[in-house]
Amino acid sequence: MDAAMAASSTPFSNTVFSSSKSVFRDTFSEGLTMTLQSGFTIFFRSFPASSGMRESRMTSLNAATLGCLTCCLTSHCVRFSTCTFPLWGVNRARIRAKKPFSLVKRRLSGAFIHVTFFHLPFKGFLGMLAMNARDKAWLAELSHEHPTPFWVLFPRVSQTHYFELADAFSRVAKKVMICYSVKTNPHPRILDALSKMESGFECVSLRELENVKSFTGPKILNSCSSSDEEITEALSQNALIILDSLSQAEQVARFAEKKPLSVGLRIRLDHHRFGFSPNELRKTIEHVSQLGLRVTVLHSHPGTNTTLKSYRQFMITFSAIVKEYPFLEGVDIGGGFPGSVSLHMRHEKLSDYANVVREQLGDFLSARALYVESGRFLSEDTMLLVTRVMHVKSVEGQAFALLDAGINLLPRLTMNPYRFHALEETGARKASIRLAGPLMFGSDELGQVSAALSVGNALVVENTGSYCTEMSWKLSRDFPKIIVIE
């Protein structure tokens, strides 16, 4: 067990790793030809040839290189786009192939191209509405190799979403810091995958701070009830501390060691208890300054899984407050973005949310940092839950399938758009069947499927990557295994 795993919470100690050819890396050198299979997402980043491919500051892809790639790929791609990350000086092109093809890359204009290939095996991860037969067959086979229920984790899917998030917000501000909300899914492989994308991390507890200690990205501590140990650890990692109360400000000041320490303030824009009222903000800033702390960031959070309409209203209100304080060095807009499946169901796009931020804060952010604390969007579809029908019954004419997983593993509080698919159907006929769990609670019902289910058939639940492992109950049953597909 490696350090990242050892530092994780107890549930993640029951994790197994499956070798897979679904993800691999290679570097294009002069004359190299690579044959790609359908379904690959490809990310390019360029280096000066003289760098020995070790420089951290990378140059942008030049026009000749992009032209070559575009010509090679035009007939094969569903999407070809480039995105620039001014914070790191990196330019990446993303290409999604819909059929196999070969790509020849030669050295152009003194630049090498480093390429990472991501094969995403499930259509559900690509924003489609249904798994195909091959997906289901593979999962059904897996269900006979491992006792159900179990989770299947694809940590690199979070990297795909990270690119989408960075791409959308790179058009909003010149300096964008994406900080993954660790509480959403703190599995070590998710954290490691995102750290490789230079992601930062937003933490709410000592455990989370310890889990990201080895990563170099920016850190945020956003806790309403911080302990002295949490403040000490946050300061040791140079984390930005978001203050929720004057009492917390006094606590942080005790550890500042008489050095000017930059902090953020959370603004309360709703009926919840978190943060400071806009009406008391100026007095709060004065009080905090007298404690020897510098307020450099204002933060607010719109809530989880926010609709575009609600998000627009949130940003209108928040931006009006922020613009009253020109001395700010950054703005933290929190997260609240729905996962990709929810966006698809609502006929919305992540870029719609980014455009709202640009409309309201674009000019203000031209010389300031933008902090984005996203959790659900990055992790929601990184996990599947595989479960099995233990019994079937009829209650007053309604068919029920009783599963070995229930609301203990699929809490409603997660607000995830769970989607159920039968992996096996050996029943006599297809019918509308209600799915219920193993708990002796009347509320332990999960949903409904139209399938020919019988005892022993396996099902899969999509979109279980956000909050499920953290909110699961260990009621009468052990925590399920997590199978990681790297």
pLDDT per residue over 352-363, tens digit each? 999 999 999 999
Instruction: Work out the pLDDT band at 160, boundaries 50, 70, 90.
Output: confident
Task: Name which CATH class applies to 157-379.
Answer: alpha beta
Instruction: Give me the pLDDT at residue 257, please.
Output: 77
Structure tokens, 234: 């946050």
Q: Tally the residues of the chain.
A: 486
Average pLDDT score over residue span 387-402: 96
Judge whether residue 311 has pLDDT over 90.
yes
Instruction: Work out the pLDDT band at 271, boundaries 50, 70, 90.
Output: confident
Structure tokens, 180: 């993954």
Which amino acid, residue 390?
M
Residue 410 and residue 461 in contact, taking contact as beta carbons nearer than 8 Å: yes
Instruction: Give me the pLDDT at residue 133, please.
Output: 79
Q: How many angstroms separate the first and last alpha carbons of the chain? A: 16
CB atoms under 10 Å from CB of 478, counted, come to 8
Instruction: Work out the pLDDT band at 135, boundaries 50, 70, 90.
Output: confident
CA angle, residues 155, 158, 163, in degrees to nearest 5:
140
Give residue-wise pLDDT tens across range 212-264.
Answer: 999 999 999 999 999 999 999 999 999 999 999 999 999 999 998 777 899 99
**Which of 212, 183, 170 has its CA nearest to residue 195?**
212
Mean pLDDT for the chain?
79
Judge whether residue 395 has pLDDT over 80.
yes
| Local structure of 141: helix, strand or coil | helix
Residue 111 and residue 30 in contact, taking contact as beta carbons nearer than 8 Å: no
Structure tokens, 254: 């005790």
More confident residue, 92 or 457: 457
What's the pTM value of the predicted model, to 2 decimals? 0.78
Q: What is the DSSP letter of 281?
A: H
Average pLDDT score over residue span 279-283: 95
The structural domains of the chain, with segments of one domain joined by +, span 23-119, 125-153+381-485, 157-379
Superfamily of domain 125-153+381-485: Lyase, Ornithine Decarboxylase; Chain A, domain 1 (2.40.37.10)
Q: Quote the strand ranges of 324-457, DSSP E.
A: 330-332, 369-372, 383-395, 398-403, 419-422, 431-436, 445-451
| Local structure of 443: helix, strand or coil | coil
Instruction: Give me the pLDDT at residue 193, please.
Output: 94
Q: How far, in Å, CA of 284 to CA of 210, rounded?
A: 30
Q: Which helix (H) or strand (E) holds 262?
A: strand 261-266
CA angle, residues 318, 321, 325, in degrees to nearest 5:
130
- Can the peptide bond before residue 186 be classed as cis, meaning omega within 30 degrees of 0? no
